[in-house]
Structure formats: C-alpha cells, structure tokens
A and B are shown apart, each in its own frame.
Chain A
Amino acid sequence: MGVSRARPLHQHPSGGQTLRPGSEVPPVRAFEEVLAEHLDALFRTALRLCGGHEADAEDLLQEAALRAFNAYGRLREPSAARSWLFTILGRTHLNRARSVRRRAETVSTDLEEPAFEAALADWRPLPTPAEALESRQLGEQLTRALDELPPELRAVVLLVDVEGFTQREVAGMLEVPEGTVASRLFRARRQLRPALEAPARDARLWRHQ
C-alpha cells in the first residue's frame, strides 16, 4: 500500500510493533498501547493522589507518562508494565509532594516500630465482625476521607487497597521499607475507618427508631 511511515517500528522500543525478518524476539508493544491499557487506573490514582483536583492529576499523569515514555526502552519485563507505570506515577507524585513540603517545612509522618506496635495494640475493634461494612454507598464519603489523608498514607492505601499491589511491591515502588508501608497502611485504614463505619452505624440507628 502506498503510504509512508514516520519511523521504522523496530527502531525504538516505544514504537515497536513488528520484528526484523528472522528475529526471534517477541514483538514489543507500543508504549501508547501499554499506557492505554492502564490509563483509567493511573488516572484515578493520580486524581486521588492530587486530592481530587483534575487539572493537577492531569499534570501529574502527563509528567509521569512522559517519563515512562522516555524510559520505556529500559523496561526489561513487559509483564511488569503495570507495576512499572504505577512506580513512575507514585515517585513522580512523591517528588512533587516533597518539593512542596520542603517549602512548607513540615516533618516526617512515619512511625517508629515501638510506636507502630503500640498503635496496633490500641485498635478498637469494629462493632460486630459479622456485620458487613456497607461500602457500596460510600463512594463519596470515602473519596473525601482519602483526600484528607497525608500524601504518603494516601499513596499506600491507593496502591495496596484500591489497586491491589502487595505491600512488598509498594515498598519497591515508593523506595521505603516494607515496615513503613505496613505502618502507613494501618494509619490510613484507621483514618478511613469512620468513613466506612458511619453509614452502617446510621442504618442501625435508623432501624432502632
């Protein structure tokens, strides 16, 4: 067919779709194809990381996507693309948050191990284990509570609880020890707990009236 192509597809991995004749290397997916597959999840994570500000989320996503595009040729394991994209998004966000915090001169929010154990011991159990949290109607409430979390806690709970990465994966993504991920996750869940409990409590009160 008589059309011209902008660049040979095997010239750069981020554009690779075809193989050189005789090559045994599996086809490399175009960067845009990989990004498109995970775009919704990346966007919603960026949106929550930015406290629901869509313009900030788009800026964050743009910066992370361009960084990923630049580095796509160095992605050695294509099956790890999702984790790799979230790593770039998370680190880009934390770099931005650190930069802002340096200006605001705030302090670290991480717990030392003894303080973490003390916080675990202080846990007040949920009212009734058999009573399911009424989570289906909690979207807005949980969203507000997520937006109020400090950035470090928010990033961990989004990556572990919402996107389903393991604590070990998230530790690698954010370049922090696994214990720090555990501590942040506990504190995030503790802060989010009222948002998940309130409707169930309200429903019980309503039934008793």
Chain B
Amino acid sequence: MSCGRARRLLWPDAGPREATAEIVAAREHAGQCEQCRRFLEDMRRLGDGIREAAPRPPAPMEVRDRLFRSIALARTEGAGHAVGRWHRRLGAGLAAALLLAGAWLGWRAATDAPPPQRDALAAIAEDHLQAQRSAGLVSSDSVEVARWLRERLTFGVDVPLFPGGRLTGARLLLVGGESGAVVEYAIAGRPLSYYILPGTGNEVASTPGQVRVASRAGYRIASWADGDLTHALVAGLPGPKLVELAHYCIEQMMPATKV
C-alpha cells in the first residue's frame, strides 16, 4: 500500500470508521512506516496548534447591540423585511392577514376573552430599546432626579449612584395604566436603565434580596422585588456585572417604598 493511500484512509479527525480490510492494511502500513506515523502525528499537532493559537475575540458590544436591535425590529415588523422582494410580498400579505386577524381578536377580546398573560420583563426590554427617544429629565444631579420623580409618582424613588457610572437623567414609563420610573445611567460608555415599577410578576424573584437574571430582546435584565415594587436593571452588560450592580442597589440604597 502506498503512503498516500494509507494516509488518506487513516486521515485523522474523520471520526469512527468501519474496519475494512483496506483500513486494517493501512493501519499495518502506518505501524511500520515512520513517515506515515509522523504524518498522522503532525496533523494532530497542527490541529491542536491552530486551535490554541487562533485568537478568540468577543463580539464588540456595539455589534451585539446592532444585531439584537435588528432582530427586535424583525420581530416587531415581520421577519421577512430583510430577505428579498418575494419575502416582502409575502410579508405584506401576512401583514394584511394579521391585521384582519388582529381586528377579529380585538373584537373577541373586547367581548368574552380573558385578559392576556403579561410579561413585565419583555415590556422592560422593549422600553429599553425606545429609551433614547422618550422625553424626560436630563440631569446628573441625583437629588434633582429624585425630586423630579417624586413629583410625578405615587411612590418614592431613591436614586442610586453606581461605581464607575454616570447618572444621565430619568423619565416616566406608563405600564398597564400605572406610572413607573426609569433612571438612566452610562457605565463604560453603555446605557444602563434602572426601572422601578409598581406591582410584581411571576418572572421577578420574590425572595427579599434575591436577584433574577433573564434575557429579553437580546438584553440581560436583572430584576428583584421589594414590597409592591419591581426593580430591574437593563443594559448590554454581562449578567454577573448586572447582578453585582443590582446587589449594590439593594444593599446601598434605601428601598423605594409605596406612599
């Protein structure tokens, strides 16, 4: 058997293979041929060397943000918008059908359907996407921000300051007919939103001091309950960092309480 044939049959990394007579002969050849033995060893070493030396950069945060925004847009507007004319036509047809179906469902909902399930975290993630377009207070003064919120809400809000973070302002969030607060920060050049909403939901940790991390629309959300209020931090930051900031909130700040 030639060295080329033996190496082809014994090519490494190809997975388990049936031991045919030719493969058995190739193994016998490799057992006696120093050059073939070294070839197989070289292939393994090169594979290992490439695996170890290849750089493994993480996806930059701005790439990640833009990617998840485009998916959020596709989810909102119909996923077919980006993949061609035929898909757009199909999308238009589906949109018309959905409009009709929506109208019918709306009529049903108004008559006899039970109220839909609610997901506070999905609402928070969607709101985070819209945050930059909302009107509110632009200020880095925590006392001014707390006062501005107090004048507009039925509960008091303490405005935490995070290590390495910069307070940028606050705004109101209307959810389910009730007002909530959103305090905005910038940490390492990334926006961070701190939500305080009336009410608690199943998706929020209910044990005092317990922080739950979830993902919605590509963002990680660290949430916790405090009395009748839900608190959440949302940002394009790693989960452990969000949890650390959440515990900073819980431990360092006076809890926001209903008045």
What is A's interface to B at a CB cutoff of 8 Å? 1-6, 8-9, 14-15, 17-18, 30-33, 35-36, 39-44, 47-48, 54, 58, 61-63, 65-67, 69-70, 113, 116-121, 123, 125-126, 129, 132-133, 135-136, 138-143, 146, 157-158, 160-162, 164, 166-168, 178, 182, 185-186, 189, 192-193, 196
Closest CB in chain B relative to A53 CB, distance in Å = 13
| Chain B residues closer than 8 Å to A5, beta-carbon distance | 116-119, 122-123
Q: Measuring CB to CB, which residues of chain B are less than 8 angstroms from any residue of chain A?
A: 2-5, 7-8, 11, 13-15, 35, 38-39, 41-43, 45-60, 63-64, 66-68, 70-71, 74-76, 79-80, 82-83, 116-120, 122-124, 126, 175-178, 197-201, 204, 215-218, 230
Given pairs A35-B71, A61-B67, A125-B35, 20 additional interface contacts (CB within 8 A): A1-B199, A2-B118, A3-B119, A39-B59, A44-B55, A44-B56, A61-B59, A66-B82, A123-B42, A135-B52, A138-B53, A139-B54, A140-B55, A142-B53, A160-B47, A161-B51, A166-B13, A166-B15, A168-B14, A185-B13
Overall SS of chain B's interface = helix
Distance between B202 CB and nearest chain A CB, rounded to angstroms? 9
Q: Tell me whether A4 and B123 are in contact (CB under 8 A).
A: yes
The SS class assigned to the A binding surface is helix
- CA gap between A157 and B59 in the complex, in Å: 20
Instruction: Tell me the complex Cα distance, A61–B76, Å.
Output: 20
Q: Whose C-beta in chain A lies nearest to the C-beta of B124?
A: A3
B5, B7, B54, B199: which contacts A142 (Cβ < 8 A)? B54
Q: Which 5 A-B pairs have the closest CB atoms?
A: A2-B176, A121-B4, A1-B199, A117-B4, A43-B59
Contact at A14–B75, with CB atoms within 8 Å? yes
Instruction: Show 19 residue pairs from A and B whose CB-CB distance is below 8 angstroms, ordered by the A residue.
Output: A1-B197, A1-B199, A1-B200, A2-B198, A6-B76, A31-B71, A41-B56, A43-B58, A43-B63, A44-B55, A44-B57, A58-B63, A66-B71, A117-B4, A125-B35, A135-B53, A166-B13, A185-B13, A193-B46
A65 touches B49 (CB 8 A): no
Closest B residue to A119 using CB positions: B4
Q: What's the least CB distance linking A203 to chain B, in Å?
A: 14
Q: B residues within 8 A CB of A39?
A: 59, 64, 67
